[in-house]
Structures are given as structure tokens and as C-alpha cells.
Structure 1
């Protein structure tokens, strides 16, 4: 594939730019471009690299008359119109493994913080109180962790929380029970997980099938006091249903890094964030220096692999629409 000029519209680590240039690809960095300006300029480029801020809509893809590939330096491609790109034979790729460890570690942090009321206790002490009895927690040893999504992140979470003594059960539509058993996760159907899980952690993309997966009906099937963690995508949890469950005591706590709207302005979301049982962070799952370098390098390596200019780089494991890739060969 001929890729000579690449536009980067969201801030990525310098390692991405350096690697592309070292392999003969011209790079222009134009961050925070208004949509109309992007529409004007995109036709000059063979490739586009984004993170979360740039929305690669059907209009952008139509204006990109020379566009061959769109890469997201991160997991998921919610901000890219993959269907339209495929129709136009534009390859869409991401870096699915680049932030796995960082997202996993934040998930584990939220689990332990919820168990021991770390955030609430720290805030209380800073405010001059000594609420030792109020913030008594519980051990996670022996508790059941339900993992929905057994991809890279879900597997890493399972391995780490097993070391804490948690019992891990999980579900993934494309992972077999035999495969799950290899990393000591007991495969169960979702309706088998809800009633037994003390903690539920979500590691799925946002798809029509997963939108509002955690809703009133599901929460009604769960243990009283169940704790829910979401470091995946906003929209997988019905935020209004979760808020009700927290308020009536059905849900014992939530660790939330992602929201339906970011940054949130919806009154329901804001009330959810303010709930005393919630530990909320502003989409920090991939916000580590290591993850930022890793995803930047991975997206550049895949662009170079597509050009076949450097035999050192041959993997395009992040391609979302292989049919577009085959059409470009």
C-alpha cells in the first residue's frame, strides 16, 4: 500500500512521528482541527491517525479522496465510521493490546479501592474526621469476580485478581470454556454469572449487543451489595439504572472510568459520580506513560507494515475491516 503522507489530528507520543518519518513517511500534526478544516485538508493525505477526540465521520471519509488507512492509537474504534470506511476500501486499524496492562491495573485498583473504601476514607481524613468504623470494608479473598469480556484486558485482570485469592468466572461470546480454563477462569453464561458475582468487571467494546448490558433487569438478578467496575466503554452500563441500584442498596459500589457522555454534563451521570459509593475517574484507563508510548509505536508499526517498506514490521493485527485490506492489495 502506498502511504506517503499521514495526518495526525490527536496528540500521540513523539515515538509514533519519529518511527513514521524514519521509514520515509511524511507526517503533519494538526491537533484539535475543527471538523470543517479537517474536511478541507484530509484529501491531501493517504493516512490519518487519531485517538478519541477526532470523529472520523462519513463526511470525513468521503472528503478523504486519497485516504487509504485510518488508525486509532488506542483500543476500540467508536469514533470511526467503520462501515463507511469499508465501503470506500479504507483500512481501519487500532492498537488493541497497547493499553491492556494499564487498563487492567486501573481495574484492579478500583476493585481494591471499593473493597476497602480507600477513596472515601482518605477524603474523610483530609476533611479532619476520624471515621474509622464508618469505612470498615471487607476482604476480596474468596470473593467471586465476574469478568465480562475475556480478551487481553479481561485475562490480565483475572490473573492478577486470582493472586489476591478471588474466584474468577467469566463470559465472552468468542472464547471457549476450554480457552478460559487455561487462565483459570470458569466459563459461565451471563445469567449464571449475575447471581453469584460479588464483583462484576466489564471488558467489552460498545456494540448494539453490549449497550446498556448492565441494566435494571440484570441488577435485579445480582447479589445484594454487588460491586460493578467499568474501565471499558461508557454506554455498557445503564447509568440511571445503576444510580437507582446504588441508592436502594442493591448495588454496594461502583468503580467507573468511562461514561455515556465525556466529559459528562447529564444530570444523571453527574449525580452518579457524586454518589458516596462510587469511585469515579476521568477516563484514565490508558493514561500511563507506558501505554501512550506503546499505542503510538504500535499504530506506526502497522502503517509501515502496510507499506511493506521495512521487513522488521509485518503485523497488522489491529485491522478491523480485513475486506478493505484485501481490496487494497
Structure 2
């Protein structure tokens, strides 16, 4: 059988997988060359992707023998799941495999925001020993508001609680009887309350028609004047034009963006010119450990799908 991998695994294809399932075409250039990708999947039984390969009706119809799609991550906005289901193609996502990495990234943003070690280090290295300038604040006792508390949001909640933070969350799918509420101590509130009362707002929802521009200019303007928004979900959840406008007018606010509406963003990127914005290239969930977990999970579950065994992570 033919197996196509169109994006970077960050690790090697497991030897056991090659021995058991045969031919693997691992070509990370395919994601950028549509026709080559369409040609490559004509005889494919398996397609393994990240978030950039557009798995739409055109591609699925070009791959009549496709049995399973492995998603190296959790977001599904690049995969037409409805058409895959219509054609009998299984979709497997690596749920939870990179959640710890994303949660630790969020905690790093919180600490970076309040302690600004980089700025202090630059001053000391330049011969300035100014303890007043380098005095930050604590996250202990502060409020973090989570927009969405799935696999990742729950891990952020438990870590924030360990730091002594008050954790509130907006998620219409979470019950008041959940362990997150009863055992971890997260308070469920509406989106307005999250935005108006949180020192930090961290976004953890998928990009869907319902969440597109969930946070726009009105939502940003009701945040605290010195509030911080962190987005490790998808760029389209926060309206970038509105974010740029608000941050340009409110320099005490800050944004940490690991994801963008268009990736990579245009060279003339207004957000990148603002001093109160920190940008990273969609790496919150990518660590050495998470990359190994994601790849191992997807290869194992794709193998199970091909063998007719029980498949975990099935969408």
C-alpha cells in the first residue's frame, strides 16, 4: 500500500511502520505543490498531514483508494471532515499529544509578561544595574480567563491553579458537574465576564464558523486596559485588524500570538511593528517530546485503522 506524508514529522518514520506497511513517500514539498500532491495521492491508502495541507473534495476525489487521514495535531480546519466521511475515509487526530507543550507555552507567556527577564538582561549587560526598572509583578492571585477548556485548556487551568491563580472559563460544552469545576476549582462564566475581569485571556477553541472572529474589536475593548491576550488556537478566532487597532491605542495591553490568520503573515505585518505584541511561528505545540508523542500516536492509530483494529483519536 502507498502512504503519503506531505508535511514535516519533526521525527523519523518509525522502522516498525516501514517494515509492516511498506512504501512511504515522505515529501514535505508536497504541501506547497498542489498538483504534485494530487498526483502523489492517486494510489495512496494513507495521507498524513499537519495543518497546511488542504484536504478538500478535490484531493479526496483524486485519491479513490484513500482509507485513512492522519492529522499530526488536533485542528481540523484544513480537512473537510464531512467529505471524508461521505467517502468512507477515516480521520485520526492526535488529541492530547501536544497539549502539555501548549499549556507550558501559555505559562511561559504569563511569566514573560510579568517578569520581562529579557529586558532586564539587556540592561544589566549594557552596564545598567537598576533594580527598580527590573521590578515586575506576580501571577499569584491574578485571574486567567480561558476561552475553551478542552484538552489544552484543562492543562492550562491545572497549571495556573498550581501558581495560585484564579481560573475562570467560558465553554458552553462543559458542565458545572465536571471534574474541572468540582476538583480543579475552575469557575464557569460567560464570555463577557472572562474578557472584562481577567488579567490574562488565553484562547483554546477550534476555528469553526461559530468561532470565526469570536473576539473582535468590541470584545477587545472591554478587556482590562492592562490585560493580556494569548492565542495558541487559530488565528481566525481573533480578528487581527481589530487587535492591531486596539493594541496601537492601548499600549498597556499586550498580545502573545503563536497563530495568525495567514501563515506566514505578509512581510508588511502591522502587528509585528507593535512593541506590545510577541509573535512566534505556530510552535506552541511543537517540542521534542510532543513531536515524538504525536508521531508515535498517529502511526500507531493509522496502523490500527489499516489492520481493522480499534482506533483511538478517530474524528
TM-score (norm 2): 0.90
Distance 1:305 1:128 in 2: 60
Q: How does 1:1-329 map to 2 (within 5 A)?
A: 4-14=1-11, 16-33=13-30, 34-122=33-121, 133-134=132-133, 136-179=135-178, 180-181=180-181, 182-249=183-250, 252-265=253-266, 267=268, 270-308=269-307, 314-316=310-312, 318-320=313-315
Does the 8 Å CA contact 2:3/2:24 hold for their aligned counterparts?
A: yes
Kept in 2, the 8 Å contact 1:111–1:255? The answer is: no
The structure-2 alpha-carbon separation of the partners of 1:14 and 1:242, relative to structure 1 and needing over 3 Å to count, comes to: closer
1:149 CA displacement: 1.0
Distance in 2 separating the partners of 1:98 and 1:206: 19
In the aligned structure 2, how far is the partner of 1:128 from the partner of 1:84? 62
Measured in 1, the distance between the counterparts of 2:13 and 2:186 equals 36
TM (normalized to structure 1)?
0.87
- Alpha-carbon offset, residue 16 of structure 1: 4.2
- Could you tell me how far apart the structure 2 residues matched to 1:29 and 1:43 are? 15
Taking the aligned partners of 1:176 and 1:211, their CA distance within structure 2 comes to 24
Which one is further off, 230-239 or 79-88? 79-88
Alpha-carbon distance in 1 for matches of 2:194, 2:305: 41
Stretches of structure 1 that go unaligned for 5 or more consecutive residues are 321-329
String of CA shifts for 1:267-325, please: whole Å, max 9, x gaps.
4xx2212321122211111221111111101111111221336x6xx332x222xxxxx
Which is bigger in relative contact order (C-alpha 8 A, separation at least 6)? 1
- Give the whole-Å Cα distance in 2 for the aligned partners of 1:67 and 1:139: 52
Inter-CA distance 118–14: structure 2 relative to 1 (3 Å threshold): closer
- Structure 2: distance between partners of 1:163 and 1:276: 30
SS of the equivalent of 1:177 reads: coil
1:213 and 1:202 map into 2 onto residues whose CA distance is: 10
On the 8 A contact 1:20/1:26 being kept in 2, the answer is: no
Would you say the 8 A contact 2:68–2:305 is kept in 1?
no
The CA RMSD over aligned residues, in Å, is 2.2
Q: Residue by residue, what CA displacement relative to the aligned partner does 1:203-262 show, whole Å, maximum 9, x if unpaired? A: 111111111122111122222211101111111111122222222227621111111111
Q: Structure 1 residues 252 and 13 mapped into 2: Cα distance closer, same or farther (>3 Å)?
A: closer
Asked whether the 8 Å contact 1:226–1:250 carries over to 2, the reply is no
Hey, what's the Cα distance between the residues in 1 that align with 2:300 and 2:253? Answer: 44
Identify which range, 245-254 or 136-145, moves more after superposition.
Answer: 245-254
Contiguous gaps of at least 5 residues in structure 2: none
Alpha-carbon contact 1:19-1:297 (below 8 Å) kept: no
Contact 2:236 / 2:260 at 8 angstroms: preserved in 1? yes
CA 1:298/1:199 → structure 2, altered by over 3 Å: closer, same or farther?
same
Contact 1:203–1:231 under 8 Å retained in 2: yes
Distance 1:109 1:152, change over 3 A: same
Matched position secondary structure for 1:47: strand
